[in-house]
Structure 1
Amino acid sequence: MTSEQAKKFIAGYPGAKNFVKPSHLEDLSPLLECHVEAIVCRKDEFHDISGAYMPRKETLDKFAQACGISYNPTAETTRKEGSSCYVGSAQGMVMGPDGKQIMGPICEYEFDVEVRLEELKLKGKTAWNNGSKSTRPYTDQELAAERIQLMKVGRMRANTGARNRATIAILGMQTGFKNLFDKNASDHTTVTFLFSRIIVNAKNEMVLNRMLDNIAGPTQALFGSAPVAAISGRTDTAELPMRNATPAGDDFDDFPADPPADDERVARLVAAISEWTLSDDQRIAKRAQAIIDRGESNPDVLEPSLALLCYLGNGGRTGANVCIQALDDAPDVANLKALVEKVNKAKAS
């Protein structure tokens, strides 16, 4: 969208939390454009920590997607320090108004299992006695079980924490929001956040052509450029006559016209001649193939030619060379019919 369209979109959300970058609303290169997105979040998508609402991981993921945040793979690591401490690191990056990637700070998050166990000891284990909530000290066995669970998720928690910090850092967002929701509001109460990102302007002709080149490049490298095939057809724009059209206003449906009888006859004769192309006698197979190849469609030529092929294929010897010569010469209907009559007389005798 253009800068004016983006400002108009933002004006439609007067009570939203606005995290649109001012630099995204300036005049950009024709190859780029600004995209503004509104994200609606519920109260239960935040952690309520003493009145400060901190976005959950899935909420931060929605924010990151709306801003076009990606993560630097070379800076994303999780290392183990000591026997029970995991440290994750991550770095976010977004496309800037000039089309270059803007790198955020490298953020770290430490997850120490021993520290978490000490916190559990201080808080105690929640217990219920006759419907009333109370706390009691952890037993040694319970602490051992908790330690195993923390060790299982330690590496994942360190990586997730680092990513969340990297997302918040590049967004320029505070960790928590005070008074974001009323304390007595239901979990379905919503608040809107506005985010912006720079995207490639696919409507630009230069960008579009470049995208098409990138798509077609690998295919052409593998298989080469496809030849342009000319499609033959009618060159005039005259309307083709309708066949078997019924007069307007009648109560009968139009049916396609029956094919001419000659078409069926030609198809039958061509099919019969095609069978002789498989003959073991190369003289017969060669003549049959020649008839098919030249696209003969005159039934007055096909019918006597088929009769001569059948005569030769069934072992006819009288006048065989004359029959072959007639099949090789240019089609002569009178000559072919005369030969068929002679062949029939020879077979009868």
Structure 2
Amino acid sequence: MENQNLPATSNHVEIATGLVRKYRGQQDLVFVSDEELKTQAMFFPEIVAVHAEPGDFHKIGQKFMPKKHIVDRIAEAAGITFLEQNCGTRTETVGGSTAWVGFAQGKKRMPDGTWRTSSVCEYEFDPSMRAEEEILKNPGKFKDEVSKKLKVLELKKFARQRANTGARLRTIHELTGMQTSFEAGQLKRALVYSRVAVNTDLLLADPKTREVALEAALGVTRQIYGPPKEEPKALSDHYTVEDNNHDQVPPSENNTQKHESQTTDDIWGKTSETDEQKKTRAMADDLRKRRMEYSKELSEKALIEIDTALTEPINLHLINIAIENLNAWEVWQTEQRGGK
């Protein structure tokens, strides 16, 4: 995969347009419109080319359908995030045989920074029907019952994965316009996509710009989370250390007296968190653990981005960006290790 990350400069649209023109001139398969490259100043386009081999596709009749690992690379290149709560497979009985139905939903950032969410796309894969169709089309290839049964078992083995991949392909089609299958002559051409990245340098230039830009362009309200890591304990107004006895134990909490209009939590800034705030803090804690796990493998730039997202007060949008980039990096690492 070639990643042409464009600098956050005034001419990034011209550079992106030039890259798209180059790929089109090479007769590559470009799934990028000119409108996708006209981003707001807080964002910039990235042009990504995915290079696949014929072995990266399933042959279905005279067409070729990308395999799962290529589908994942295409989604990453196009900036598509799958909503896992709406992704999966189920089985249905069709004509007495079991068919797998995959379903998927994704979202893609638009040039203005908003997110476009796809519908929940479905794809049905019936291994028995697929096997019967192939056997009828190739009678000379399947001459006995054993070879026919082996074909059915082969398709049943990967039915669930094929249904899942098909659903994700339909989601990508809805969000990018890419076809779900290709001609044999198209397999050697690069698949070119665009995605919208956040201009973190501009976003984090100063706190005021960051807050105003997030609220105005993204509709994200800045949220403040507490309490501090080390929380002092408030004492009663009437508690004093007597006779220079500094080892004296403070009275129990039940005996301490508090202001009528203030509680200890109010004094030290600790207020109850909403469910959404608790969920965001849990996301931050998980990101912090993953940062420690990959600290020796991640680049300095990636570590800075994660540390910025984890800086108090925690910002939900920055946490989401860091998590998305880390997820994409993990996918890339898996590919480099041969899918292990």
TM-score after normalising by structure 1: 0.49
TM-score after normalising by structure 2: 0.50
